[in-house]
Amino acid sequence: MKKKFIKKESPVDNKNENENESLMFSFGAPEMANDFNNYEYNELFYNDADDYWEPPLDRLGLNKLTRLNAYHGAILMARRNMIAGRFLKGGMNVLKVQSLVHNLLEFGDVAILKIRDHFGRVVRLHPLPSAHIRKRKNGDYYLLERDDKKVSYKARDIIWVYQYDPLQQVYGTPDYLGCVQSALLSNDATTFRRRYFKNGLHMGFIFYASDPNLSKDDEDELKEKMSSSRGVGNFRSMFVNIPNGKEKGIQLIPVGDVATKDEFERIKNITAQEVLTGHRFPGELAAIMPNSGTRGDPVKFNYVYNQNEVIPACKLIKDSINEDEELPKSLKFEFNLENEE
């Protein structure tokens, strides 16, 4: 992009009038990062129109969260594999057990449907997607489908496994809510950084002009060019010619470059640690590189984590399912509850 700016003669009156005048303008409007506000805990209320309890947490929002941060989604998958990996036998295959555990960890509860034969006997179990399960006042359940359709299940046909919530006993609550804001901050930092690089590192700068030979028309044209130059590939070149101009009469001063790089690294490191803490997941099992020293023994950390987190989760699932009086012995769940170093 080339433009030759030629000094224009101006009347003396206009020159005296404008010689002490300062011109300031900005270019480039602020752009919103990913702004999700659907992770707040809401008061439980009954939807009379649809005849079910609304969950206190937006379940589609919780699902989006798993894709907004590398650590949060990966830790959920690791926790799922550790728990499902201890499954020995029961009324499901391994794939369905993984689905059961995934729903329980991500949403805090899971509904397990009892499949019956023609004689009404339970012959197998099937996990239903927690994102679309709703509970009713009479104890029955709805599975929400497309086009506002609902499939109803009797309370006797559902085994309900949940993580306890002290504020309400209708739905369960996931145990990672304390790290939600950290996961969102990490995503915002990454989104900001990607736009910074895609824009050619011109995320923000000051265009400083102090040359008295720059005419008002040239100032207006520069302002127009700057204000309209946005997006990938802009600001690659600009030619400005001011006859008898002063050295450094026009300067382009970048702002926030080095500081932004340092802040980005700090944000990513801190939010990663907070997400791990929110899941109570050891960094030694999450491929976290230590800042100094050597990595701890992953075998020992795995032993402690299995003892404190994985085995208790297996017991919760096992007891919740096996206490159902209709289940025959062949469908009852068994997990490997032994912990070996």
Rounded Cα distance between 166 and 73, Å, is 25
Tokens of 49: 């129109």
pTM of the model: 0.75
Rounded Cα distance between 113 and 96, Å, is 12
The pLDDT tens digits of the residues spanning 62-110 come to 999 999 888 999 999 999 999 999 999 999 999 999 999 999 999 999 9
Tokens of 29: 């409007």
The pLDDT tens digits of the residues spanning 19-48 come to 445 444 444 455 554 555 567 788 899 999
Alpha helix ranges (H) inside the chain: 12-18, 59-65, 70-84, 94-107, 180-198, 216-228, 257-279, 298-305, 311-322
How far is Cα of residue 65 from the mean position of the Cα atoms in its chain? Answer: 4
Rounded Cα distance between 170 and 247, Å, is 73
Quote the pLDDT of residue 8: 46
Rounded Cα distance between 28 and 230, Å, is 7
Tell me, what amino acid is at 192? F
The pLDDT tens digits of the residues spanning 288-335 come to 665 555 567 888 999 999 999 999 999 999 999 999 999 999 999 999
147-176: average pLDDT: 95
